[in-house]
Amino acid sequence: MTQELRVLMIEDSEDDALLLARELKRGDFDLQMERVDSAEAVTTAIIGCPWDLVLCDYSMPRFRGTDALSLIRATGLDVPFIFVSGTIQEDTAIEAMRAGAQDYLMKGNLKRLLPVVRRELAEAEVRRKRTQAERELRLRDVRIRAMHEINLAITSTLDLDGLLEILLEKIDLLLSYSAIAIQLYDKKSRTLLQATCRNLEEKDWKRNKRSHGLEIARIVFESSAPLIVRRLQFDSRLKTPEFYLTQGLVSYMGVPLIAKGETLGVLGFYTRESHEFDKEEIQFLNTLAGQVAVAIHNAQLHEEIKIQAAELEKANEVKSEFLSVMSHELRTPINVMMGYVELVQDGMLGEIQPEQNDALKKSL
């Protein structure tokens, strides 16, 4: 099976470059090659293509091979670098390998070229996989610590506004997203509303608080499922793509905030470069959204209880006031009646019999 091979050839001789290319093609490589012979050309070539291999002449009139090696290694690229030269002393070649070259070959003996290239490509693949595994482990560790810190932070308060502020602050500090936004469902108006955002132009956000970001968030909210958009500016579902253009937002992932089987809103993550949300990242953001949703649910429940308590207290005050008024109104005619009884008992209204006096006493 033919293997694609992108080779950067740093060589001043076009004939020598063709000889090397011919030898590589014998190894069943689908060759893509570019020949350069100056520092400027090397710099441009490095930026323009992800190379699999660099073959470099050691001695050139305009450019030294060791300078080319330093230039490429300074970029941090881990690409096999092999010197191929007509004349090179063994001690010089050893020094070159100490400086970062993988091997050296003589142009007069290209039989070693294919075995050396295959070996270095295989070793580069091993290094690439090891680097990728290490990166994933570091990223997993970062996410675990971030999840722990965010969870501690959002469970430290039952004030909804304070919770959202702490949440966005922690996400911004611990995770590498360009901007974050939260939309929450308002039960009174029965609509999805912007709640808060981070790293978006505040004036523009507030001025257009009821529109930007809601189109895409509504899709997430109504489906109660995550949504990934690779290119926001070109998504046909958006009626206001100019907002994303002016903000420089490119990719988006929206995650529903679900607690107790109820969708409370949407947590949205934006990047200003094209971003591929991989499987582990999607799972992490879903888990994070689940914890955030529980915290928001608790804060909303706390707010509802506070409102109910205030309403109950007000009702009790009204009840107490009503009873006080009624008690006063009831006491007034009774006092009048008692006054008349005392007048009768004192004989002020005429003499009464003893049995009548006893009856009056019992009535009091």
Q: What is the pLDDT of residues 97-155, one digit of tens each?
A: 787 888 888 888 888 999 999 999 999 999 999 988 888 888 888 888 888 888 888 88
**Partners of residue 194 on adjacent β-strands:** 183
Residue among 249, 255, 256 nearest 232 (CA): 249
* Per-residue tokens: 155: 């469970």
Span 155-305: which CATH code?
3.30.450.40
Is the distance from CB of 185 to CB of 221 less than 8 angstroms? Answer: yes
**364 residues of the chain, pLDDT tens digit each:** 678 999 999 998 899 999 999 999 988 888 999 999 899 999 999 887 889 999 999 888 888 888 999 998 888 888 999 998 877 677 777 787 787 888 888 888 888 999 999 999 999 999 999 988 888 888 888 888 888 888 888 888 888 888 898 888 888 888 889 999 999 999 888 889 888 888 887 666 655 555 556 888 999 999 999 999 999 888 888 877 778 888 889 999 999 999 999 999 999 999 999 999 999 999 999 999 999 999 999 988 888 887 777 767 776 666 676 566 556 555 556 665 666 656 556 666 566 667 666 665 666 5
pLDDT for 99 equals: 78
Q: Do 155-305 and 3-129 have the same topology in CATH?
A: no
Rounded Cα gap, residues 239 and 217, in angstroms: 13
Rounded Cα gap, residues 101 and 10, in angstroms: 14
Phi/psi region, residue 61 (left: phi>0; alpha: psi -120 to 50; beta: rest), is: alpha
CA distances from 72 to 15, 60, 264, 286, 300 (A): 24, 17, 51, 40, 56
Q: What is the pLDDT of residues 290-299, one digit of tens each?
A: 999 999 999 8
pTM, rounded to two decimals: 0.63
Is the distance from CB of 183 to CB of 265 less than 8 angstroms? Answer: yes
Span 3-129: which CATH code?
3.40.50.2300
* Per-residue tokens: 77: 């690229």
Is the distance from CB of 223 to CB of 248 less than 8 angstroms? Answer: no
Give the domain ranges of the chain: 3-129, 155-305
* Per-residue tokens: 36: 């350069």
DSSP strand E in the chain: where? 3-10, 29-36, 53-56, 81-85, 103-106, 179-186, 191-198, 227-229, 251-259, 262-271
pLDDT for 293 equals: 93
Identity (one letter) of the amino acid at 188?
A: K
Rounded Cα gap, residues 271 and 273, in angstroms: 5
